[in-house]
Chain A
Amino acid sequence: MSSVPTPIEGRGQPSAARPPARKGGASVWRRAWSNRAVYLFILPGFLWYVVFHYLPILGNVIAWKDYSVFTGIQASPWVGWQNFADIFSDPAFRIALTNTLQIELLQLVFAFPVPLALALLLNSLVGERLKRTVQSVVYLPHFLSWVIVIAMWQQIFGGDGFMNQLLLNQGFERVSIMNNPDIFKPLVVLQSIWKDAGWGTIIFLAALTKIDVQLYEAAAMDGAGGWRRLVNITLPGIRPVIVLLLILRLGSMLSVGFEQYFLQRGAVGADAAEVLDTFVYFRGVVNGDWSFAAAVGLVRAIVGAILIFAANWFAKRFFDEGIF
């Protein structure tokens, strides 16, 4: 749940860091000993990663057990692959999976291009101050919590919110938006766009500044108009970033998020709002079906990892880009 933008180019940094400089024969152990103070700096964080990030992964063993809070992890009986076999015959799981995939597809088609378009619009603004001002405004909602965002939407589009009051005052019927299961999926996409499209531009804008201005200049000299320059210089110039973001997007295809759906699940019902994250939470933590929920979470994580590697392979093969 980090709040800073997606780690697009975490790559490159580890290798750039350490030139393989072997100082004349000093053994690894000697170098380690002379840097012992450095290890003290690393130690607390290292322990944290082990305990809070990697150790819990072992807890997934309960997916092969019949875990209950009373017997504990050790004493719970093994049940083999039963929990995994149950996943696909579970009707509620099927609903959650369908919802997740549908929402992700809608996000990909409608929400993914918006930051790109917005970045191009911002980039085309000549006045620096106007650009800055618009940027400040569009980044802001990203820093609000989903609770606040949903509360604001509720106040504006809710049953007795601003919009409906306006409609009633004008003699129209009330329209149901925030608690209408039929339009819930487009609604969450719109909410996501409102909250994060502005923030999403930051990575595109950074990439846009990296494009060599001379290319534009030369193209303009040769008579290429604004549209030609956009298609032939700008878009190819930021293609790497677009591909990288797409890879990450595909890799996280099975996790559309938790809070946005959890918060609105009550208003529209589980059939419309249940996604895999909320499914795991309600099945496991709320209903106490721990082992089954862990199995679902595990399958989701593994499929997610496979997806990201597959997308990366695909991007490397066909676009010559990749994150690892």
Chain B
Amino acid sequence: MATSVDRNAPMATAGNPRRRLPFTGSRRPSSRPPWMERPPLWLLVLKGIALAFIVAAMVLPFFHIFAVSLSSYADVLGGGLVLFPRNPTLEAYRAIFNGGIVVRALQISIGLTLIGTLAQMVFTTTMAWGLSRPNVPGTRAILFIVLGALLISPGIIPSYLLIKELGLLDSYSALILPGLISSFNLIIIRQFFMNLPGELIDSAKIDGASEFQIFWHIALPLSKAVLAVVALFYAVAIWNSFFNAILYLQDATKWPIQLVLRQYVLQGSDIAAAADASSNQPLPPARTLQMAIVVVATVPILIVYPFLQKYFTRGVLTGAIKG
């Protein structure tokens, strides 16, 4: 059984002390089905290398960005730092949080995300509920309108003209209204509503509950998981949204964080304006400030990511997709 160690080697997960079980040679005896033969050593090594490469390519950039944002002036000038700043300092964060453009952009983005997600959930869940009710004439036609929106999109120029005609240019509504409902999310929630136990709804109806009461007191509480994941998807999309802002907002004082990020990090605008210009202290190096902005824009995503991930690996979404 010399192979037992080999075949576990690339798969060893940290913090899990290896127990040797007789005969199976595996930590979790049930994990490999009995009919599956042990792959040859070279394949395991190859897989291990591939996995290590993939994980490193995904994770290391985050560490690097974070390390740069914490670096001192000497570190940045010295160059060649990889994952750990030699003299970590929070100067850059202090500078951008002192007030100024980045703070304002963050406030705008947070506000947009909260209000936008709420509005999206209201519109999406109500329509999904309506379209999930059986035996309502006309809902099929409306469903086609919803699904058709997945195939046909109005295009950049007509969308712009609409917002212009509505007088919404340079307004925050222009960032929320055009994306109020995602057909895809609506279909997911509708699918979930349709699978709610019909007897529950019928008995509530017999007891005299109104459509709204059923929706509010039965449907929504029973759908918390799917609502949470859709809300998170909506929130992440608004936080990340760039296109609508670049299209509809001329006024740079209204820019959300993604546009500010582009301005200072990709276009290299003078970073001093992004931080508090009034303080007399010398600013940290531009590179450090830039990476601090990247980190600040990334952290909200990293915070909600575990919740998102918990749901979609459980198959809430894929279940709905597969129908």
Footprint of B on A, CB under 8 Å? 1-5, 7-10, 12-14, 16-19, 21, 23, 28, 31-32, 35, 37-46, 48-60, 62, 69, 73, 118, 121, 124-130, 132-141, 143-148, 150-152, 154-156, 162, 165-166, 168-169, 194, 198, 202-203, 205-206, 210, 213, 216-217, 220-221, 225-226, 258-259, 262-263, 266-267, 277, 280-281, 284-285, 290, 293-294, 297-298, 300-301, 305, 308
Contacts and interface: CB of A to CB of B under 8 A. Distances in A.
A73 B39 CA distance: 67
A162 B32 CA distance: 42
A45 B126 contact: yes
Interface string B153-183: 1111111111011000000000001111111
Given A13-B191, A143-B305, A155-B68, A3 B134 contact: no
Contacts of A285: 156-157, 160, 247
A214 B199 CA distance: 36
B264 to A, nearest CB: 10
A206 B127 CA distance: 28
A275 to B, nearest CB: 12
B266 interface: yes
Given A38-B211, A140-B305, A169-B80, A4 B182 contact: yes
B140 A259 contact: no
8 contacts: A21-B135, A32-B138, A38-B136, A53-B152, A57-B158, A127-B31, A135-B309, A145-B239
Contact of A4 (B151, B185, B294, B315): B185
B242 to A, nearest CB: 5
Given A13-B191, A216-B36, 18 more contacts: A3-B182, A10-B147, A41-B126, A41-B130, A44-B127, A45-B124, A48-B123, A56-B154, A60-B155, A139-B312, A143-B305, A144-B298, A206-B318, A216-B33, A226-B39, A259-B243, A280-B157, A308-B151
A143 B301 contact: yes
Interface of A is mostly: helix
A134 B55 contact: yes
A124 B44 CA distance: 10
Contact of B321 (A5, A162, A290): A5
Contacts of A69: 164
Given A13-B187, A220-B37, A202 B318 contact: yes
A23 B237 CA distance: 43
Contact of B155 (A14, A128, A297): A297
A17 B184 contact: no
Interface stretch (B46-54, B88-96, B272-280): B46-54
Interface of B: 11, 13, 16, 26-28, 31-33, 35-37, 39, 47, 50-51, 54-55, 57-59, 61-62, 64-65, 68, 79-80, 82, 122-124, 126-127, 129-140, 142-147, 149-162, 164-165, 177-188, 190-191, 194, 210-212, 215, 230, 233-234, 236-237, 239-243, 246-247, 258-259, 261-262, 265-267, 287, 290-291, 294, 297-298, 301, 305-306, 308-309, 312-313, 315, 317-318, 321-323
Contact of B178 (A52, A150, A162): A52
A182 B215 CA distance: 57
A163 to B, nearest CB: 10
Which of A121, A127, A217, A266 has its CB near the most chain B CB atoms (within 10 A)? A127
